[in-house]
Amino acid sequence: MFRSKWFSSVFVCILVFSLILVGCAGKKEANSTDHSNHGMSDSNTNPSATKGRINVNTKNITRINQDDPIQVAIETSQIIWPATSDGNRPSAVLIGVIGDWKVNLPAVTLVHHPNNGPLLYAEKNQIPKTTLQELQRLKPTGSKMNKGVQVILVGDFADSVREQLEKQGWKVDQIKGNEPAQMANEFDAYYAKVSGGKFPNGIVVGSMDSSDYTLPAANWIAHMPEPLLYVSKNSIPQATMNALKQRKNKATIYLLGPESVVSKKVEQQLQAYGKVTRISGETPEANAIAFARFKDASTGFGWGVNQPGHGLTFVKTDQVDAGIASAPFAHLGKHAPMLLLQETELSSLIHGYLMGLQPKYKTEPTEGPYNHGFIIGTEKSIPFSSQGMIDEMLEIVSASGEGHEGMGH
């Protein structure tokens, strides 16, 4: 009898354990199915979707289908500035030395008004034919607040490059040099000069040693007057100190990046020049998302993109020059912050952020708001499968989950 009771107890335990396993498996399967509905599973992918296409764009995505930064800059310029009339021509065009990201990144503060123009690329000793053609197409009007300057050379160009442009009739200015912190200081001073002589109190400070964490600053400084100044992990360059002193200890400093990139020591040293707020994430993707989410209600600084109805650019971390050239997507049009992708496939972190931004309508989809994405690079950088996932997550959907196929349309 004792043995019979023992066997009964064992049988009950086994039965309960089996039911628990089945329930867990069902829950796991349900969760997997939920993710697959939003492009996170390979179980429902369609390999033939990449074949036979004649268009690289999708309904919620514009792709800059170039990996060559010179061509990315030109295609970005052509989308942002149609140049069909004086109203949509740039005032002044920037030209930077291709490959010198540490100089070109802070230079895009000059994309903003009153220059209102793209950053194009050239070699140190010559300007590519395609860049010259784009300059001729744009036919910049000349900055009224900057003595009619039409072209601004930024970086360590040979004198022959300026001479070439001036012989063609362009009015050229140059900010010459190659030391990153000093050049960032020069761009800050130049912007203040051409925009009325006042230095903005707000400043973005980032690492000049790690593009992965500083690159998202490009879109903000092209969007608003705040400049980008540089620090190293454990020190503040003298040129940066000089720029900070222009604010007379009243600067509002937004330090971009985690302590692994810019140390706590530097953060404390920056406090001598004003109020310091660190915006950071532990990975490049997390850092870019933190910057896109951030908003300082007291100053108005920051994107504050935490709800639907925005543009976003998507850049691979190894496409730094291309990412810098795409900064004008934050200046005009959708005014888009930059997100970084560390891999060709979407991470759960990017997925979660985009799902939080997905628009939802109550009655019908014409209510809006709408999202739009700009993917920078060819399908070798960001594959079409990833584009499809992003497009799906940017799409407006029914708040009830019923869809609008049942609306009688």
pLDDT for the residue 196: 87
| 33 in a structural domain | no
3-class SS string, 272-309: HHEEEEEECCCCHHHHHHHHHHCCCCCCCCCCCCCCCC
Instruction: Determine, yes or no, domain membership for 408.
Output: no
pLDDT at 220 over 50: yes
From the list 232, 228, 290, 294, the residue with the least C-alpha distance to 261 is 232
Confidence band, pLDDT 50/70/90 cuts, at residue 265 = very high
Asked if residue 319 has pLDDT above 80, the reply is yes
Whole-angstrom distance, CA of residue 164 vs CA of residue 395: 47
pLDDT tens for 324-350 read: 999 999 999 999 999 999 999 999 999
Residue 404 has pLDDT above 70, yes or no: no
Query: Residue 343: which domain range?
Result: 61-398
Count of domains for the chain:
1
In a domain, 49, yes or no: no
Residue 120 pLDDT greater than 90, yes or no: yes
Percentage of the chain beyond pLDDT 70 is 88
Helix (H, G, I), strand (E, B) or coil at 373: strand
For the residues 108-114, what does the mean pLDDT come to? 95
> CA 354 to CA 366: how far, in whole Å?
20
**According to the model, what pLDDT value does residue 173 have?**
98
Report CA torsion sign: 141, 132, 134, 61: negative
Question: Is residue 1 in a domain?
Answer: no
Cα angle value 58/62/68 (rounded, 5°):
125
Q: Name 103's Cβ contacts closer than 8 Å, sequence gap at least 6.
A: 96, 97, 154, 155, 156, 177, 178, 180, 183
Contact (Cβ atoms closer than 8 angstroms) between residue 227 and residue 200: yes
pLDDT digits (tens, 9 = 90+) for 19-67: 444 344 443 333 333 333 444 544 577 888 888 889 999 999 999 999 9
Residue 404 maps to a domain: no
* pLDDT tens sequence across 148-185: 999 999 999 999 999 999 999 999 999 999 999 999 99
- 6 pLDDT above the threshold of 50: no
- How far is C-alpha 34 from the geometric centre of its chain's CA atoms? 29
By percentage, how much of the chain surpasses pLDDT 90?
83
Is 29 contained in some domain? no
Q: How confident is the model at residue 395 (pLDDT cuts 50, 70, 90)?
A: very high
pLDDT for the residue numbered 406: 53
Provide the pLDDT for residue 242.
Answer: 97
For the chain, the average pLDDT equals 90
Asked, for residue 35, whether it belongs to a domain, the answer is: no
Return the amino acid letter for 121. Y
What is the DSSP code string of 27-74?
A: HHHHHHHHHHTTT--STT--GGGGSS-S-S-BTTEEEE---SHHHHHH
- Asked if residue 233 is part of any domain, the answer here is yes
